[in-house]
Amino acid sequence: MSKDARIYCSQGPDTLPATAQGTLSGTRFVFKDLFDVEGYATGAGNPTWLKTHQIATATSPLITALLGQGAECVGRVQTDELAYSLNGQNSHYGTPINPKAPNCIPGGSSSGSAVAVANEECDFAIGTDTGGSIRVPASYCGLFGLRPTLGTLDLSHCFELAKSFDTAGIFTRELRLMRDVWSVLAARHQSGERVTRVYLDAQCQAVMSAVRIERLSQQCQRAGIEIIQGNVLAQNGWSLTELSLLFRTIQGFEIIEHHDAWLTLYGDSLDPAIWERVEWARTITHEQYEHAKARQQDFQQQVLTHLKQQRCLWAMPTTPSGPPSLTMPADELAVYRSQLMGLTSIAGLSGLPQLHLPMEELLEGPCGISLMGLPHHEETLFVTGEAVYNG
């Protein structure tokens, strides 16, 4: 039986056997078409990229680590073009069907990774997250999704989009397995502290439906976790719109800085929606970039200070709502994307770990909430997240 080309890449590998017994023995995984495997080409979601790049001469250390702990790889999976989208739509290979909401987009850019896990074709998947590419498809497909602390996981032999924000991440259907995979990839086994306070900013709460707010409140109450409300973002002069623009300015400049030569030669191979973002990114000046980086440092410090002083985690909607319809007009989807990136940019700009917890049975479709914590406190997110999820 042939594999669904909307999910799986044709260039392979189709399978990679485990190289030893270990923590992950008996599990299967897929990986996003941004990670290298020796002897195969990496396509980055674009057929022309695939044709114009050499066969990889080394394998991502993340894949090597998973195989070395007993996991079996069952395929390379699709991504949005150059990972520069949050929709999960690819005009070259097709859009993977969202098993939780078949008439809606699956989310991207780690679309194949999320859909393969949601379809139960594998136990977990690794993808990447720059502007939300783990968190958004996890939300839309009803999965757990982790964007870890920036710089924790080794991204050698992996496609680079924007160096200030790129990180690998994980999708699972079960939080227990998420913790096991994380311990392998991060090469550490730590216990986490269960936090008893979460902060919900007024601007994040304003994006949430009443149903989702009530669900979060009930689960936290049952878990013995206090929700603190406030206006930290506004008090420090930030709006979600400003955070989105700040993030996109840094991201866009770095994309052009790293990929301009290829884009000049082969940009006409990109979907028009992706190319439009490239053209906008080319208008960003070095001065604008440097100013944005300075503003990012201010934001990082403000968020860190609040987390430390309040001894809390931040809670937030991962996405504004459930997944948009496949038929949503492009202009409406662009407006939604800007609002979405206001939320995802909080962890992106601060470099902090964020864990998505699914609430798939809500009326608005698959969605949920996220917890964000201090650097290298992923285990605290797991422990507290488990309490909230089971509350």
Which one of the listed residues 109, 164, 321, 370 is annotated catalytic? 109
Counted residue by residue, the chain has a size of 391
CA pseudo-torsion sign 202, 205, 210, 212:
negative
Q: Which residues contact 1 (CB under 8 A, 6 or more apart)?
A: none
Q: Give the side-chain half-sphere CA count within 13 A for 163.
A: 8
Beta strands 28-32 and 167-172 are: unpaired
Cα 123 from chain centre: 17
What is the biggest distance separating any 2 CA atoms in the chain, rounded to whole angstroms?
Answer: 57
Residue 100 catalytic?
no
Residue 133 catalytic?
yes
CA pseudo-torsion sign 197, 153, 204, 212:
negative
Q: Which residues contact 284 (CB under 8 A, 6 or more apart)?
A: 249, 252, 253, 256
Which one of the listed residues 85, 110, 113, 133 is annotated catalytic? 133
∠ CA 245-246-249, rounded to 5°: 80
* C-beta neighbour count of 286 within 10 angstroms: 9
CA nearest 50: which of 9, 13, 15? 9
d(CA 95, CA 110): 12
Residue 32 catalytic?
yes
The residues carrying an active-site annotation are 32, 109, 133
